[in-house]
């Protein structure tokens, strides 16, 4: 367990319902602006153990990044359930839903 991991977990846990964050933002807030991959790995790895809202994390385009259809569908449903309108391509309107902790 590294400090980076703990930060990432804390950041993801702080994402309010109905809002999303990008991997890049999380990585930057955690201390490594280009460590988006680690965020992904941590998320994938810890979401199950820490009950993290991984469905509130999307890529830089504001789209669902998952490759697995089942998980993709699960994220889609979770977002819709929180009031986030997801496009048919899994694209989310970042201008509306992107949560910036600094601008909170």
15-44: contacts with DNA (CB under 7 A): 22-24, 27, 32-38, 40-44
- Is position 95 an interface residue for DNA (rule: CB under 7 A)? no
Least distance in Å: CB of 68 to DNA? 7
Least distance in Å: CB of 104 to DNA? 19
Quick one: how many helices (H) and strands (E) in the chain? 5, 2
Q: DSSP letters along 30-79, please?
A: HT-TT-HHHHHHHHHHHHHHHT--GGGEE-TTSB-----HHHHHHHHHHH
Q: Of 5, 18, 94, 98, which one interacts with DNA (CB under 7 A)?
A: 5
Least distance in Å: CB of 83 to DNA? 19
Report yes or no: 43 and 17 within 8 Å, Cβ to Cβ: no
User: What is the separation of C-alpha 61 from the centre of its chain, rounded to a whole number of angstroms?
Assistant: 12
- Is position 67 an interface residue for DNA (rule: CB under 7 A)? yes
Report yes or no: 57 and 8 within 8 Å, Cβ to Cβ: no
Residues that bind DNA (CB under 7 A): 2, 4-5, 22-24, 27, 32-38, 40-45, 47, 54-55, 57, 59-61, 65-67, 71, 75
């Amino acid at each position: 367990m590294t400090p980076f991991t703990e930060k990432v977990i804390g950041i993801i846990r702080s994402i309010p319902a109905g809002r999303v964050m990008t991997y890049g933002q999380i990585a930057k807030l955690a201390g490594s602006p280009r460590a988006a991959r680690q965020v992904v790995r941590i998320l994938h790895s810890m979401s199950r153990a820490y009950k993290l809202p991984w469905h509130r994390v999307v890529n830089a385009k504001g789209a669902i990044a998952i490759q697995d259809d089942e998980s993709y569908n699960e994220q889609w449903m979770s977002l819709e359930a929180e009031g986030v309108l997801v496009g048919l391509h899994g694209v989310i309107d970042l201008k509306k839903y992107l949560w910036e902790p600094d601008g909170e």
